[in-house]
């Protein structure tokens, strides 16, 4: 009887350990420590984007590609730093200052709910904008931020 109880306890421990391992793999984290900023919230019910959060397996699948993308800019002689991702925290600070100066002319805070993800000198713009918001002008202005290579607009229009 003691042996059966021991086997059952061992089996239960294994099942619990496996379920924790499986669950841990599904946990989404910002594994690359990429800047992810919520910059406005004027439009109600705008769904939050996934941003740079990914599972461990997604991270592992992207690792080689991420290294290759990060270094290609330096190898081509277009970047002063050896990895494009090294710019992102500095760009996040610059783009925050830029956004503050743009609000007077574009009123973007009053007409949007936006998140920015910064990865390898790209700004991914997610969220919702009002129908009368000049998204093209806003994207162009963000693209003028120092060291930004590209702005990718993934916003949706809301009434």
- Per-residue pLDDT reduced to its tens digit, 86-111: 999 999 999 999 999 999 999 999 99
Assess if residue 5 is contained within a domain: no
Assess if residue 77 is contained within a domain: yes
Residue 47, class by beta-carbon neighbours within 10 Å (0-12 exposed, 13-18 middle, 19+ buried)? exposed
Residue 118's alpha-carbon distances to 15, 96, 99, 106, in angstroms, are 39, 12, 14, 22
Assess if residue 105 is contained within a domain: yes
Assess if residue 50 is contained within a domain: yes
Q: Is residue 120 within 8 Å of 34, Cβ to Cβ?
A: no
145 φ/ψ angles, rounded to the nearest 5 degrees: -65, 140
Assess if residue 74 is contained within a domain: yes
Q: Is residue 150 within 8 Å of 117, Cβ to Cβ?
A: no
The model's pLDDT over 21-79, given as tens digits with 9 standing for 90+, comes to 555 578 999 999 999 999 999 999 999 999 999 999 999 999 888 888 889 888 999 88
Q: What is the DSSP letter of 127?
A: E
Assess if residue 7 is contained within a domain: no
Indicate the pTM of the whole model: 0.81
In whole angstroms, give the CA distance from residue 54 to residue 75: 28
Assess if residue 13 is contained within a domain: no
Assess if residue 16 is contained within a domain: no
Domain span holding position 70: 29-158
Q: How confident is the model at residue 155 (pLDDT cuts 50, 70, 90)?
A: very high
Q: Is residue 46 within 8 Å of 158, Cβ to Cβ?
A: yes
- Number of domains the chain is built from: 1
Domain of 103, CATH number, reads 3.30.1340.30
């Amino acid at each position: 009887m003691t042996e059966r109880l021991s086997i059952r306890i061992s089996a239960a421990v294994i099942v619990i350990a496996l379920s924790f391992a499986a669950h841990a793999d599904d946990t989404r984290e910002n594994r690359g420590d990429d800047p992810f900023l919520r910059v406005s919230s004027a439009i109600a019910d705008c769904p939050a984007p996934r941003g740079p959060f990914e599972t461990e397996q997604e991270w592992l699948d992207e690792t080689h590609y991420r290294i290759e993308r990060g270094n290609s800019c330096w190898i081509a002689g277009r970047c002063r730093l050896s990895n494009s991702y090294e710019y992102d925290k500095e760009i996040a600070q610059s783009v925050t200052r830029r956004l503050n100066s743009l609000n007077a002319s574009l009123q973007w805070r009053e007409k949007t709910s936006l998140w920015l993800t910064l990865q390898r000198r790209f700004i991914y713009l997610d969220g919702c904008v009002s129908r009368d918001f000049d998204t093209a002008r806003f994207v162009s202005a963000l693209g003028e931020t120092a060291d930004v290579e590209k702005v990718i607009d993934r916003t949706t229009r809301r009434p």
